[in-house]
Amino acid sequence: MAELEGLEFGKSDFVLLDEVTMEQFMENLKLRFEKARIYTFIGEVVVSVNPYRHLDIYGKEVIEDYRGRELYENPPHLYAVADAAYKAMKRRAKDTCIVISGESGAGKTEASKYIMQYIAAITNPSQRAEVESVKNVLLKSNCVLEAFGNAKTNRNDNSSRFGKYMDINFNFNGDPTGGHINNYLLEKSRVAQQQEGERNFHSFYQVLRGGSDGLLKSLYLQRDPAEYAYTSQGASITLASNNDSLCHKAVMAALKVIGFTTEEISSIYKILSTILHLGNLQFTSDGEHVVLVGEDTVKHISELTSTEPENTRKALLYRTVATGGGEVIEKGHSEQEASYGRDAFAKALYERLFAWIVGRINSVIQVMDYNPALHGKNTVIGVLDIYGFEIFDNNSFEQFCINYCNEKLQQLFIELILRQEQDEYQREGITWQNIEYFNNQIIVDLVEQPHKGIISVLDEACLTAGKVTDTVCLDSMNKKLGQHPHYTSRKLCPADKTMDFNRDFRIRHYAGDVTYSVEGFLDKNKDPLFQDFKRLMYNSSDPVLKEMWPDGKMSITEVTKRPLTAATLFKNSIIALVDKLACKEPYYVRCIKPNEVKSPLLFDDGRCQHQVAYLGLLENVHVRRAGFAYRQPYARFLQRYKMTCEYTWPNHLMSSDQEAVEAIVNQHGFEDDVAYGHTKLFVRTPRTLFTLEQERAALIPILVLFLQKVWRGALARMRCRKIRAIYTIMAYYKCYKVKAHFWEVERRFTNVRNMADYGKSVEWPTPPAALVQFHRITQHLYRRWWARQLIKNIPPSDMAEVRAKVAALSALSGERVDWGYSRAWERDYLTNVSFSLGYSFRTLTLHSMQDFYIDLFSGHLNESKDRALLITDKHIYRLEPKKHFKVQKRISLDSVVGVSVTSGSDQMVALHTASQDDFLVHLQRGQLNPNQDRVGELVGSLTDYFTRTTFIALKTRFSFSFFMKVIMIRRMLSTKTRQDGLV
């Protein structure tokens, strides 16, 4: 640590003192205070001195300096211990806690706020909204709890008048996911009465001085706190470090951020105003009865609590009791009883309001739907900010409980830091010089021991029937505890005039002797509140008030168990708190108050030395200096640092983990700074551990890269195997799909030979993608087979007609509706007419002239004309039947390049030639069948012939404009010309 701060600032760790004496300890503490170095280490314990001024050591830059650094890497600071607790929690998945202790005014509350701010600042780097919400609620809860739980005392302007322990839950990433707040022993007696120079709780002054005019008017309040009995004493006291008006605005904003609804906030301030109005209620006697002074105040209280005015009045003036026979009677109060009941009601209202606010905050920040299997291990950091040791001029029941709590915490400190440390050295066989320290177990037993302790005596007095006074209780304590070395009273020590007879008793605490006044002990321990007030609040129409008073549901005649006393409840909660802290890894902040006048310059040596003594800081230095700063089981140490030694990475071959640890220590030359226990390695100085951590941090990136490389290779091989498996499965699946398709085709077409249509009606299965082309070929083959099955039954003499019809189907199907496919085609229509002898002679003549070999088509043209058409395999002839079928015109068939027809039912056909000497023929329909279509026969015969002889299909066109032009021309021609059947 000398490397981090110069010697002019003193020793930053008390373990480094030349001699561990009280004089040197105090000299070093004073020097650091004067140099504004308010934090000093004792090992992992931070000693904090209240500077009573603002120091610029808490900004963002400072937070970054301490983030992720080792405890001894930076100068002492609250941030160092907060980061150490956070790292321990995150690295080892172990719950930790930070215990902040010290007397009132030593700066515990401020320390807890800085620790919370640091944890909030270093978590949630990804800025997730749900985590930010939890952090905001945790931070804002401090503001609200301070307003309702803190007050100005003679020692501290912002003294916590309750104990607070906050658990912060973290997920496996180290981000806060929620939390829980426990509150202990709110000093509710402060509501009705304060000591000279002190104030009531901040919340009352904040609403009076910071509330808007409209709010105060709705609450029937005046702005001056002197107008109210409960706040009049502190009305003239102003706080230099606390502006009530600004704090009120901050509290209102914090309540909204936390999640309080507008109605809930309204109920909170209605309850505060109700308490102020209750304090101003006065009672007077008109002889036999007690009456209220000021009916308006009662009406205001009834309106603010949403109750009936008559019921409120009766609860303040009467007490309803049930007799043994079940009869219910009303008993009037005396003035003293009515005043007592009023104050008890006001204190109970505030106490339950505070408990409800804490519970409401917990409902917002509690971890919801947590599943360790899904979300990882849930770890906790606890922060304890609880009342410090108090010695006032008049110490009552509250100071007794507070000082008992500090005794329990001191016992925990002794158990964890002093006794357990020395016991561990003995168990591990480490050479050790025993350190003497004061064990305060005897004082704890004085307070809490069953049947003998002070709390047991108080409970026994509260349970005793009849009139038992505080004096009778004091006598009982004198009898049972008179021989105890840490208890005395004026009766046991008559010569001690600092105590009064029948009133005072004294306990010799670890922090000093405290004299307690027994007056009021029994009443405060019983904590009595008339049942009438509980029923009144339970029957309120305000849901918040109703929720605060569930015990008001009981009827008057209902018999219940006697409730536990206040001291017993507090004892049980403190024992539970200590057990909760004991199961966590503790980190300590020990706060010291430098003076009583809150001066940033004065260092009261006597006052500080007293605190150092009772906090056991000197003994702590002795233990740390004589012992070891760090200890760890061999297996865990080896697991963390084995990569720093070549003989232990990745696994050692030695006979035991201890030998492997020795190899690590020897390789780094730390053998003179360690000791070997039976199960653990003990490291004397933090510098050794810090060096190991540095080397480990340097190796981690190398190891991470190596592991990433190996893991990525493993992932790639796994992926390769998966891909291979996928392709194998795909291949087998494709094979299966192909086979399945074949099987299905085979199944469907097995019996098609026996079907009437040879399977034409059978639906083909959908082929897989790999068989689409094969499927088309198969269908084509099937169609050819199917056609073959049909054709093989056709006589050879009919095949020419079949081929012609197939050709016509290809050329005309879809364009002409009827082209004669349903009738038999004769093709040679001229032979069958009456003058066929002339035609036969003509065809013989042409045949003998080798003008043709086969006639493809013959027939008459339009019946009104004396023309005929003959198409052979060589020429196209226009014949004149009346002139013995004389050839009128002849063109070569080879010159025909196309045919044009219409899509209608007319018999007009255009034959196109290469020389553009086109034929337009108008075929004659049959004489016996005037609807006979011969266009298809002509086109089919020509197309079939051309396809078979030239292997080129004759082009067939469907033309409309051409024929329309021809018809118009024909109309314009002369009669003689129009009698021609061929143009």
DSSP code per residue over 958-980: E-SHHHHHHHHHHHHS-HHHHT-
- Catalytic entry in 10, 43, 105, 178: 105
What is the tens place of the pLDDT at every residue in 815-842? Answer: 887 888 888 888 888 876 545 666 777 7
Q: Is 261 a catalytic residue?
A: no
* pTM, rounded to two decimals: 0.66
Is the Cβ–Cβ distance between 501 and 519 less than 8 Å?
no
- Catalytic entry in 28, 96, 101, 109: 109
Strand 150-151 to strand 318-322: parallel, antiparallel, or no bridges (unpaired)? unpaired
Evaluated on CA atoms 484, 485, 486, 489, the torsion sign reads positive
Token representation of residue 933: 């279509």
- Catalytic entry in 351, 390, 619, 937: 390
- Report how far residue 332's alpha carbon sits from residue 341's, in angstroms, rounded to the nearest whole number: 12
Q: Say whether 34 counts as a known binding-site residue.
A: no
Confidence at residue 77, expressed as pLDDT on a 0 to 100 scale: 93
- Report how far residue 736's alpha carbon sits from residue 739's, in angstroms, rounded to the nearest whole number: 5
Is the Cβ–Cβ distance between 134 and 176 less than 8 Å?
yes
- Catalytic entry in 12, 159, 858, 943: 159
Q: Say whether 629 counts as a known binding-site residue.
A: no
DSSP state of 160: E
Confidence at residue 907, expressed as pLDDT on a 0 to 100 scale: 84
Work out the percent of the chain whose per-residue pLDDT is above 90: 28
- Cα-Cα end-to-end distance for the chain: 125
Is the Cβ–Cβ distance between 604 and 596 less than 8 Å?
yes
- Catalytic entry in 210, 341, 388, 677: 388
DSSP H helices, 627-685, are 634-641, 657-668
Given a cut of 70, the residues of the chain with pLDDT beneath it are: 1-6, 240-241, 322-326, 369-377, 417-420, 433-435, 437, 465-466, 557-561, 626-627, 629, 686, 832-838, 850-852, 863-865, 927-928, 959-983
Confidence at residue 981, expressed as pLDDT on a 0 to 100 scale: 41
Confidence at residue 24, expressed as pLDDT on a 0 to 100 scale: 92
DSSP character string of 207-243: HHHHS-HHHHHHTT--S-GGGSTTTSTTTT--BTTB-
Q: Is 159 a catalytic residue?
A: yes
Q: Is 214 a catalytic residue?
A: no
Confidence at residue 686, expressed as pLDDT on a 0 to 100 scale: 67
Beta-bridge partners for 912: 898
Bond preceding residue 309 cis, omega within 30 of 0 = no
Confidence at residue 377, expressed as pLDDT on a 0 to 100 scale: 64
Residue with tokens 């298809």: 936
- Catalytic entry in 28, 50, 104, 177: 104
Element (H, E) at 437: none
- Report how far residue 271's alpha carbon sits from residue 301's, in angstroms, rounded to the nearest whole number: 9
Contacts with 603 (C-beta within 8 Å, 6 or more apart), sequence order: 30, 33, 34, 594, 595
DSSP state of 742: H
Q: Say whether 108 counts as a known binding-site residue.
A: yes
SS (H, E, C) 65-80: HHCCCCCCCCCCCHHH
Q: Say whether 19 counts as a known binding-site residue.
A: no
Q: Say whether 106 counts as a known binding-site residue.
A: yes
Q: Is 390 a catalytic residue?
A: yes
- Catalytic entry in 28, 142, 160, 843: 160
Burial 340-365 (b: 16+ CB within 10 A, else e): bbbbbbbbbbbbbbbebbbebbbebb
Q: Is 68 a catalytic residue?
A: no
CA dist list (Å): 564 to 525, 556, 561, 569: 9, 20, 9, 6
Confidence at residue 1, expressed as pLDDT on a 0 to 100 scale: 37
Q: Say whether 323 counts as a known binding-site residue.
A: no
CA dist list (Å): 204 to 210, 412, 548: 10, 36, 20
CA atoms within 13 Å, Cβ hemisphere of 322: 12
Q: Is 378 a catalytic residue?
A: no
Q: Write out the E strands in 794-892.
A: 855-860, 868-872, 875-880, 886-892
Q: Say whether 147 counts as a known binding-site residue.
A: no
Q: Say whether 104 counts as a known binding-site residue.
A: yes
